[in-house]
Amino acid sequence: MTDTILVINAGSSSIKFHLYDIEGPQELSPRLGGQLDGIGTRRPRLRVRNAAGETLVEREIAPGHAADVPNAQEVVGTWLSGHLGGAPLAIGHRVVHGGPDLAEPVLVDDALLARLEALSPLAPLHQPNNLAPIRVIRERRPEIPQVACFDTAFHRTHSDVADRYAVPERLYEQGVRRYGFHGLSYEYIAQRLKKALPDIAMGRIVAAHLGSGVSACAIHQGRSVDSTMGFTALEGLPMGTRPGRLDAGAVLWMMEQGMGHDEIEHLLYYECGLKGLSGISNDMRELLASDTPAARRALAYFAWRVAEGMMGLGCAMNGIDAIVFTAGVGENSPQIRQAIADHWGWLGVELDPERNARHGPRISTEQSRIGVYVVRTNEELIIAQHTLALVRPQ
């Protein structure tokens, strides 16, 4: 065994991985990171860079070697085995759904895998792919401990009221409740604020994770108290290919029109959101570069509903002391941050154009009644920390 922690984040079309050196009892430093993307396409590609950003490998992979996530994991594992000089101490995984009871990272065993597999219908876009590499590694290297870290766990601090829908108790007992997602990202934000912005860290914060998936979270005293996502990762704010808020009656109407379960599921997970509104793409960069009315409408809708949803979280904390943007779009798009903030003028929120263009950390003016910040998330570091703490407790 070497003194490293490997982190794997597997999606439907990519596997991201990061390797951390263990420097002390609970201290980690990044050694390398990479991803194999284009899984299932004709041009999958493996990219790996070291901690300094230098390219270690960048090459195309034969399509048959990355036809699905298990095959792609074999490619990643083979490359890592040839470059690490030994197995990692443990491997940590992002798992989107942990259900109502799993509020902490846990060591993987067969019983846990079966339990998590049963949750796949609640996260069909993510859960099966999260679990695929775990199975491959258990088959090939069963002696290496694996740790599952859940996107839902950070939200298990919600109150009983915040976790409920207005449905009969029997449905709540069967698991129909608001779970919340992107918790690993929000956990990192809460941790990072304590070091980088201690003056606001324990205040009333609304953080927005704006990527392909989109949500916002109310964080008070470093704990999640509410989130825009709920029973599945479909709810809440509009996303790249998911609709966010949608009248449940619309789904009933689809069924009445003869649409089946699989057809509706595919529509809601792959054809809605920015892609559906624009008819062009779910890529924010493409939409920003487009001058079509549909693209303009999609961006306007996105900014409006995200702004609305974020401010609504203030009700969970009786106010808002700071606003944080994070994830791919939240960290890198001044235009989208400005478009969202334009809906908050009535609250006295004002962005500074120069600060916003530099991506912060503070992007609001000194006169703004609520401070607005950009904080880069690092879900992989949180997973590595949890994994190390579990396999090598202090």
Lowest mean pLDDT among 42-51, 293-302, 355-364: 42-51
| pLDDT range class, residue 70, cuts 50, 70, 90 | confident
**Candidate list 3, 21, 68, 151, residue with the active-site label:** 151
Q: What CA–CA distance (Å, rounded) separates 271 from 255?
A: 17
E-assigned strands of 174-233? 204-210, 214-220, 223-227
**pLDDT tens for residues 319-368?**
999 999 999 999 999 999 999 999 999 999 999 999 999 998 999 999 99
pTM given for the model: 0.93
What are the structural domains of the chain?
A: 4-150 (3.30.420.40), 199-374 (3.30.420.40)
Omega into 361 within 30° of 0, i.e. cis?
Answer: yes
**pLDDT tens for residues 153-190?**
999 999 999 999 999 999 999 999 999 999 999 999 99
**pLDDT tens for residues 110-142?**
999 999 999 999 988 889 989 999 998 999 899
Q: Is 291 an annotated catalytic residue?
A: no
Q: What is the dihedral of CA 299, 300, 305, 307, to 10 degrees?
A: 100
